[in-house]
Structure 1
Amino acid sequence: MDPSIEKVLKLPTKQKVALLCLMVLLEGALLYNFLYRPRMEELKSLQTQVEDLDRQIAESRRIANNLPRFKSDYEQLKKDLDNALTELPNSKEIPSLLTSISNAGKSAGLEFLLFKPRPEEKKEFYAAVPVDISVSGTFYQVADFFVAVGNLPRIVNINNVNFSDFKTVGGRTTLKVNCLATTFRFLDQKETKDEKTPAPK
């Protein structure tokens, strides 16, 4: 028999029990550190992955369930954009739009005293096209003109309205109206690039 084993067998019972307990504790520590703990860490990692996948699946299901609504929203946004594009002319359409404004005033029976476009005011993706207007006619003719401008298919804002020179001739009251009509147009890609490019020093 191995001498070391013989020594152990000759030890008193208390020492044998203590030695046995020590061996059990050592074996338990080794099993915990090299078998149980790595498995628990792996399990925890897998649980985290499963939770992430569950979240992704839930998000994908939510998107899939709302897909018809998203498609409907997209179609509505596209339609709104198309409508906006029809309300903001490009540079080629500006002269005809200004002609439409002028024709609206003439159709209302107004006399044009001034119709003078100002320089464009370029913004981020569009330009404001202001026009100084001065007309003469009755209050109802002016009102008809403003209504006709409001009914144009393009956006035209009328502001800075100023009434003056009230005259009554033969029971008919006329007045002079000065105002600023502003329409807008989209800037094309070349114009927006030119705006973003810094001027050479």
Structure 2
Amino acid sequence: MNARIEKIFKLPLYQRLLLLGLVLALVGVAFYFMFYAPQLEESARLEREQQNLERRLEDNRRIARNLDQIRAEYEALQVQLERALVELPHQKEIPSLLTNISSLAREQGLEILMFRPMGEVNRGFYAEVPVDIRLVGSYHDVAMFFYNVGQLPRIVNISNLSMESARSADGVARLRVDCRATTFRFVETSTEGQGG
């Protein structure tokens, strides 16, 4: 036999048992770190993944239970978007809207001294289209013009309003009105980078 093994067999029993225990402990530690610990980590990872999947499954079940409500909300939002788009004209509709505003002034018997579209101001998904206007007419005609502008299906805000007395050649009291009419248009995603 090998001299080392013979030396071990000659040791007292408690030392041989201690040596056997030490060897078994080393084998146990090696087994733990080489095989058992990686399996524990994998098991913990799989448990976390299972919990995440169960959470997602519960979220999906909740969504499925509320699917009819979510669809109804989506359809309601679509209707609101369509209504908003009616009030926010596209680029090609702006000239006709400005023509409508000028026609309303003429229909009320107002004299248009200035109708000057200003530069468009981009605000993200919409753009402001301001127009400086100078009108002359009676107070009632001016008030009716503003009322009729408010009744248009498109959003038109009147701001920077100033009124001055202006007498006509025949001595009738008239008002000279300076204001800014601002309408808004929808900015399509393909033209977002443009505008001025």
Q: Which runs of 5+ in 2 are unaligned?
A: none
**TM-score, normalised by the number of residues in structure 1:** 0.72
**Following the alignment from structure 2 to structure 1, what is the Cα–Cα distance between the partners of residues 24 and 188?**
83
- Identity rate of aligned residues, in percent? 39
Q: Which runs of 5+ in 1 are unaligned?
A: 197-201
Residue pair 1:161, 1:179 contacting (<8 A) in 2 also:
yes
Partner of 1:89: helix, strand, or coil? coil
**TM-score, normalised by the number of residues in structure 2:** 0.74
- Note the aligned Cα RMSD (angstroms): 3.3
Residue pair 1:127, 1:186 contacting (<8 A) in 2 also:
no
Call closer, same or farther: CA 1:45–1:129 in 2, change over 3 Å: same
Residue pair 1:101, 1:149 contacting (<8 A) in 2 also:
yes
The equivalent residue for 2:98 is 98
Summarize the alignment of residues 71-110 of structure 1 with structure 2, pairs less than 5 Å apart. 71-108=71-108, 110=109
**Following the alignment from structure 2 to structure 1, what is the Cα–Cα distance between the partners of residues 184 and 9?**
104
Answering whether residue 135 of structure 2 is matched by residue 134 of structure 1, we say yes
Please list the CA deviations of residues 29-85 of structure 1 after superposition, one character each: whole Å capped at 9, or x if unmatched: 233233322322221222122122123223323433343343233223322221222
The equivalent residue for 1:14 is 14
Please list the CA deviations of residues 113-143 of structure 1 after superposition, one character each: whole Å capped at 9, or x if unmatched: 42423244252553514141312102x3322
Aligned residues: 189
The equivalent residue for 1:116 is 115
Residue pair 2:134, 2:176 contacting (<8 A) in 1 also:
no
Partner of 2:194: helix, strand, or coil? helix
Call closer, same or farther: CA 1:180–1:4 in 2, change over 3 Å: closer
Partner of 1:195: helix, strand, or coil? coil
**Following the alignment from structure 1 to structure 2, what is the Cα–Cα distance between the partners of residues 120 and 178?**
18
Where in structure 1 do 4 or more consecutive aligned residues deviate above 6 Å?
1-6
